[in-house]
Amino acid sequence: MPLTRKAYRAAILHSLADPAEVGIEASYEYFEDGLLVIENGRISALGHAGDLLPRLPADIDITHYQDALITPGLIDTHIHLPQTGMVGAYGEQLLDWLNTYTFPCESQFADKAHAEEVADVFIKELLRNGTTTALVFGSVHPQSVNAFFEAAEKLDLRMIAGKVMMDRNAPDYLTDTAESSYQQSKALIERWHGKGRLHYAVTPRFAPTSTPEQLALAGQLLGEYPDLYMQTHISENKQEIEWVKALFPERDGYLDVYDHYKLLGERSVFAHGVHLCDEECARLAETGSAVAFCPTSNLFLGSGLFNLPMAEKHKLNVGLGTDIGGGTSFSLLQTLNEAYKVMQLQGARLSPFKSLYLATLGGARALRLEDRIGTLQPGTDADFIVLDYNATPLLSYRLKQANNIAETLFVLMTLGDDRTVLQTYAAGNRVHQR
């Protein structure tokens, strides 16, 4: 195969570590005039343009972005494909919201053509927003996952998804059975898990919509294949938590239900965790599990405020999730804008470098993919984005007043959204151009 080598020149920023562990200064690397060199879909060099340029062949193809910042592609650790068409549904909190809006909307995925149409819209929306990897809930229908993976494969994206397993407490038109969910998940795993940059996630929706038999089979699947993911919801809403206690009186709380069925582990991601207690955070951390912090959703559905400092205290892996359609934006920049406010309401601060970490390396660590994505380290996948300082008149004006990269980054996260993402690259290929 001929060597394809390209270089991108701009301001470049990426995370090196969690600021909570190493302090802010040691947590990132910034090149005011940086160069990122890509070879065959991977990053081959990163540094100051002045250092790297003399070492490169004179005829190398260089794209120079002025007034722009290159960062790693953003990572969404919790999102629902079949809820694309119901973002911004009025008036309800979690359980009524599911019954009133979510289940009817997801039922449309019984139609394969609908699944394919939405998968296309969904992937375009991820890329328009600079999201290059997502951990995705399908609907209960296997074709929702097939449609998603087929579209992701065409663009060589690194994506993780799974068919929802739900065999009770939902309308008949939207339930599977313990056995059918096991067989359907297995067929999807055989077809997609490890194909190119795709991975499968075993996806019991949440404890209330699965029988003990189904949860046991989900745990069994995790034991049958290496490196499978597990995604579900936990402790999002107070009524939900009471319901779980009533459904599983023999268990010692919500997390213990999942623990009992062997669903905790290094590739397990639990969405929300707004009302987790200290012991539950400790148990999640001990098992290497991760939590997806979904601030726009937690505010929109009135679920509560995620306690990030408590997660940090336990060294629990945390990623960021949009939770479309409980969340209100595909943009992880807008998600960080709301994350900052969630911290403010608890008297805590979210530094721009912690935010950058959550949306990139933190997400990669939650997914155990930090050797492939989440930074711009040489050897990793060339998944990166170009953010435009002049995306809107206000952003342009405001950034002229910024004195350093910390201020610039914070303003990008506060005012930025899909308009800010000029280009998105995946495996070295441009997959979105504004």
* Positions that interact with ligand GUN (CB under 6 A): 80, 94, 98, 102, 205-206, 233, 236, 297, 323, 326
Distance in Å, CB of 333 to Zn ion, minimum = 20
158 binds, among ligand GUN, Zn ion, none (CB under 5 to 8 A by kind): none
> Of 201 and 427, which has the nearer Cβ to ligand GUN?
201
Q: Which is nearer to ligand GUN, 231 or 424 (CB)?
A: 231
Binding of Zn ion by 106 (CB under 5 A): no
Binding-site partner at residue 206 among Zn ion, ligand GUN, none, CB < 5 to 8 Å by type? ligand GUN
Alpha-carbon Rg for the chain in angstroms = 21
User: Six-digit token pair at 253?
Assistant: 């709380």
User: Measured from the CB atom, is 94 or 147 closer to ligand GUN?
Assistant: 94
Least spacing, CB of residue 6 vs ligand GUN, in Å: 40
Distance of closest approach, residue 294 Cβ to ligand GUN, in angstroms: 7
Q: Which residue minimizes CB distance to Zn ion?
A: 323
In the complex, the smallest distance separating the C-beta of residue 321 from ligand GUN, rounded to whole angstroms, is: 9
Upper half-sphere CA count for residue 153 (Cβ side, 13 Å): 15
Q: Distance of CA 411 to CAs 132, 208, 374, Å?
A: 22, 40, 21
Nearer Cβ to ligand GUN, position 201 or 409?
201
Q: How far is the CB of 94 from ligand GUN (least distance, A)?
A: 6
Q: Does 76 bind Zn ion (CB under 5 A)?
A: no
Q: Which of 281, 287, 160, 283 is nearest to 229 (CA)?
A: 160
Q: How far is the CB of 108 from Zn ion (least distance, A)?
A: 18
Residue list 264-283, contact with Zn ion (CB under 5 A): 271
State how far the Cα of 293 lies from the Cα of 183, in Å rounded to an integer: 31
Q: How far is the CB of 235 from Zn ion (least distance, A)?
A: 13
| 344's tokens | 């403010």
Q: 149 or 254, CB closer to ligand GUN?
A: 254
Q: Which does 388 bind (CB under 5 to 8 A by kind): Zn ion, ligand GUN, none?
A: none
Structure tokens at 196: 């190119």
Q: Which residue is nearest to ligand GUN (CB)?
A: 326
b/e map 150-162, b = 16+ CB within 10 Å: bbbeebbbbbbbb
The string of DSSP codes covering 343-396 is HHTTT----HHHHHHHHTHHHHHHTT-TTTSSS--TTSB--EEEEETTSSHHHH
Place of tokens 């409980």: 326
Cβ-contact 160, 200 below 8 angstroms: yes
Number of residues in contact with Zn ion, rule: CB under 5 A? 2
Q: Which of 71, 77, 73, 74 is nearest to 327 (CA)?
A: 77
CA distance 361 to 369: 9
Q: Which residue has the tokens 């040489």?
A: 378
Q: Which is nearer to ligand GUN, 136 or 356 (CB)?
A: 136
- Binding string, 227-266, against Zn ion, x = CB under 5 A? ----------------------------------------
Shortest separation between residue 83's beta carbon and Zn ion, angstroms:
8
Phi-psi region of 40 (alpha: psi -120 to 50; beta: other; left: phi over 0): left
Which is closer to ligand GUN, CB of 94 or CB of 367? 94
CA distance 325 to 158: 22
Q: How far is the CB of 59 from ligand GUN (least distance, A)?
A: 51
The listed partner (Zn ion, ligand GUN, none) that binds 163, CB under 5 to 8 Å by sort, is none
Q: Is 323 in the site for Zn ion (CB under 5 A)?
A: yes
Of 290, 345, 337, nearest to 315 (Cα)?
290
Q: Are 306 and 342 in contact (CB under 8 A)?
A: yes
Pick between residue 326 and residue 374 the one whose CB is nearest to ligand GUN.
Answer: 326
- What is the rounded distance in angstroms from the CA atom of residue 193 to the CA atom of residue 199? 5
Residues at the site binding Zn ion, with contacts judged by CB under 5 A: 271, 323
